[in-house]
Amino acid sequence: MRIRKVGRRGEANPEKRMPLAGHLVELRNRLLVSIIALGLGACVGWFLYDPVLQFLQAPVMEVSAQDGRVAEVNFAGVASPFDMKLKVSVFIGFFITSPIWLYQLWAFVMPGLTKREKRYSIGFLAAAIPLFLGGAALASFALPNAVRTLTAFTPEGATNIIPAQDYLNFVMLIIVVFGIAFVLPVLMVGLNMLGILSAATIRRSWRWIIVLIFAFAAIATPTPDAISMFFLVIPMAGLFALAWVLCWLGDRRRRARMIAEGTWEDPAELDD
């Protein structure tokens, strides 16, 4: 009588769990791919530096040309032009390669997710990337007004010479914050799909959400005018409203399925 032996992998690891060392190796590989992609994107950004810098400087040039005030971006040191070119190149590469490093992050987390959670994460990734880039693009419309408003406080007869590093940090902050703000509603929908956040909870908290949107917009757009703030408030409020509708539809489907299966405890809450 022959006894069939079960492989060691089937005995010792029936659930095919990866050991800690394997996770660390995979994390290293994912990070390496992301860093290489970012480096290649920065190389592309190096060649795109001149038109991008011209675009970033345009609000300051418009202030100087239209309003008659002397305003310009100033390089304070010998190495400042090279340092700024390097930073802008990496910044451009960060946006160009965002689908790659976001996918690497998702691919690292994916093995630990269930089949249902994988579908949700794919939808989250597919929506987050264009929304992040869309928010960054919207920042380009708010940026000129922000620069014009802030430089308007320059006293009569004075010259506004803006250090290049300070101006670059200001621009990058505006662009990144706008991008992140557009991703927050997607995160809200993702939490709802995982059963963590319900549409009823969002509805009961809508006043706090509006307050937080205005507070976030006021901090993200450091200008004293209301126009720049509303550039962020209006699309954010619209995205949060759309996210609530998606959460409400998701709750309806989930409750209908649970009622059909006989696992829903309080069907009276179906209309919440």
Residue 258 or 194, more confident: 258
Confidence of residue 65 (pLDDT cuts 50, 70, 90): low
Q: Any idea where the domains of the chain sit in the sequence?
A: 22-271
Max distance between CA atoms of the chain, in angstroms, equals: 103
Output the CA angle 112-128-35, nearest 5 degrees: 70
pLDDT tens column, 181-197:
888 888 788 777 767 77
Query: If you write DSSP's letter for every residue of 154-199 in order, what string do you get?
Result: SPTT--EEEEHHHHHHHHHHHHHHHHHHHHHHHHHHHHHHTTSS-H
Averaged pLDDT for residues 17-21: 63
**pTM, rounded to two decimals:** 0.66
Task: Select from 239, 241, 55 the least CA-distant residue to 132.
Answer: 239
pLDDT classification of 211: cutoffs 50, 70, 90: confident
Q: List, for residues 244-255, the tens digit of each pLDDT value.
A: 888 888 788 878
The 10s digit of each residue's pLDDT in 78-113 is 778 888 888 889 988 988 888 888 778 777 766 666
> What does the DSSP 8-state code read for residue 262?
T
DSSP 75: -
